[in-house]
Structure 1
Amino acid sequence: MRAPVLRSIGAAPKFQRCLYHRSFSTCRPLKKEELALAYDLHEPPAGVTPGPAILFLHGLFGSKKNNRSISKVLARELSRPVYALDLRNHGDSPHALVHDYAHLASDVEAFITQHSLLSKAPSPPTIIGHSMGAKTALTLALRSPDLVANVVAVDNAPVDAALKSDFGGYVQGMKRVEEAGVKRQSEADDILKDYAPELPVRQFLLTNLIKPRDSPIYKWRIPLRTLAMSLDNLGDFPFKSPEEVRFEKPALFIRGTRSHYIPDEVIPIIGRFFPRFEIADVEAGHWVISENPEGFRKVTVEFLQDKE
């Protein structure tokens, strides 16, 4: 069953109207800087009493579609509704010139409130995020702990760390595709080979390439220039002092064994921000969920079942 998508259809200076495909229980006005996020809802099996919601946040250049299969698995095994979100400037969600973790987290906060996720269950939702989505989840947990029961951060940590140069290369390749005015995805794939030699990475990037109805030229559905200018923001982490803010609830950090995003030297910093943290290593590179979905499923289900 596909859930309704809440979309902005107009904005006055201090509020946004809401478009319904069916009724929600509440719809508070969005703050000016908040965006109404598109999402897919993966519901638990019929006949079971659903547990608290899970919000699933993708990484840079991703979308809710990337987490469709694993979201269905988690909904079934944990008997919990899973909301796979499109973060701002990605997928079907609106675009904005500002793209940093404060605004990404604010959008997700608004989503929790607008969809009444605190009143629909006995406890707040779980936030799962990969890469950019992981830092968004960690930011949300630290700034609004009452909205979060626990967090699963996949291959990222609460530290300032420049993105791998690969991401800058991906942007350059995607700009080359845009400039070439390609009429077939195969043309785009050929261009991207110089910037992303691995076929799975190119296929991932090409999920953002669409052909408008009124044009034979393929276009990127994401705002490339905005995201290119935001790469430094996405390497940063908005909280600098664990002495000032902590998340005192459970947190799981999943590391890809062939990735370098959570090196051993940052573990003490994780512990100061998230004193109830656990670390699980999964045989994979940075793209943990797609490279080893079974390994990710196993450690995530065990962690969340232990917390019920």
Structure 2
Amino acid sequence: MKLYSNILGEGAPLLILHGFLGMSDNWKTLGKEFADAGFQVHLIDQRNHGRSPHSEDFSYLLMAKDIKEYCDAHKLENCILLGHSMGGKTAMLAASLFPHIIEKLIVADIAPKYYAPHHQQILEGLQAVDRASLSSRGEAEDLLSQYVKEAGVRLFLLKNLYWKSKGKLALRFNLDSLVQNVENVGEALPEDAFFSKPTLFLRGGNSNYITSEDIPLIKSHFPEAEVETIPNVGHWLHAENKDAFFTAVMRFL
């Protein structure tokens, strides 16, 4: 699958993978900072997200193979792979399957464990938006606010809206496939997945996605892993405190 990407800067390749219902644009500001710091940054839309192709098939194995194909197509080696949430799961699996092309791994606020589905309300709201005939972003926000109370989450989700044709708004991601495959999003990393190169796990101090109890599991898959906490931020740690996130990543690199 030919993934869409936005490539910034020159230097060692740094591939950034967004989370569930996100897209590469979410990382544009940080991407520019990493590019200015001397990296060639690849902001990638994963399958069924952003401007990348849609597919009925959706699993971490497929998404990890998509990354390998992307690296082959762009002749990339010695890559640094950074993923947030769902993108972190993809990055973990890709690093374990293709360690010969991945030099370092950075995982933002997700552990290798199983997570129960917890996006139902959001997906219901997005389906309501998808079904409605909307002529403005304001109408979409009003409708989504009946399902999603947090303004920041609504803003993040509605970044996926675009003008499909004159007067017709649509969502970029493949909502049908994501709804059908939502069980796959919480899947644990396979027990035999292993990556022995330098790895950084960053967790939000106010987030419960990575707990202290998860650290032995992280170390069993990633023996060289460091786990660092960014204080006073939740699951969207890179958006909530961009500077602290950037500093932590640069210190590791």
Where on the TM-score scale, by shorter chain, does this alignment land: which range? over 0.9
Structure 2 residue runs of 5 or longer lacking an equivalent are none
Quote the residue 1:298 is aligned against.
247
Q: What's the CA shift for 1:216?
A: 2.3
Q: Is 1:39 equivalent to 2:1 in the alignment?
A: no
Q: What's the CA shift for 1:177?
A: 1.2
Aligned residue for 1:65, secondary structure, equals helix
- Farther-moved stretch of structure 1 (197-206 vs 148-157): 197-206
Q: What's the CA shift for 1:228?
A: 1.0
**Structure 2 CA distance, aligned partners of 1:238 and 1:273?**
9
Q: Is 1:69 equivalent to 2:23 in the alignment?
A: no
Q: 1:168 aligns with which of 96, 100, 120?
A: 120
Q: Is the 8 A contact 1:150 1:251 kept in 2?
A: yes
**Structure 2 CA distance, aligned partners of 1:147 and 1:162?**
31
Q: 2:110 aligns with which of 153, 156, 173?
A: 156
Q: Is the 8 A contact 1:55 1:82 kept in 2?
A: yes
**Structure 2 CA distance, aligned partners of 1:162 and 1:303?**
31
Quote the residue 1:127 is aligned against.
81
**Structure 1 CA distance, aligned partners of 2:101 and 2:111?**
20
Q: What's the CA shift for 1:271?
A: 0.3
Tell me how large the CA RMSD over aligned residues is: 1.2
Q: Is the 8 A contact 1:42 1:83 kept in 2?
A: yes
**Structure 1 CA distance, aligned partners of 2:130 and 2:33?**
36
Q: What's the CA shift for 1:238?
A: 4.1
TM-score (norm 2): 0.96
Structure 1 residue runs of 5 or longer lacking an equivalent are 1-34, 45-49, 119-123
Q: Is 1:106 equivalent to 2:65 in the alignment?
A: yes
Q: What's the CA shift for 1:93?
A: 0.5
Query: Larger relative CO (CA 8 A, sep 6+): 1 or 2?
Result: 2
Q: Is the 8 A contact 2:93 2:193 kept in 1?
A: no
Quote the residue 1:142 is aligned against.
96
For the pair shown, the structure with the greater C-alpha radius of gyration is 1
Quote the residue 1:236 is aligned against.
187
Q: What's the CA shift for 1:101?
A: 0.5
TM-score (norm 1): 0.80
Quote the residue 1:178 is aligned against.
130
Aligned residue for 1:81, secondary structure, equals strand
Residue pairs, 1:88-99, within 5 angstroms: 88-99=47-58
Q: Is the 8 A contact 1:102 1:238 kept in 2?
A: no
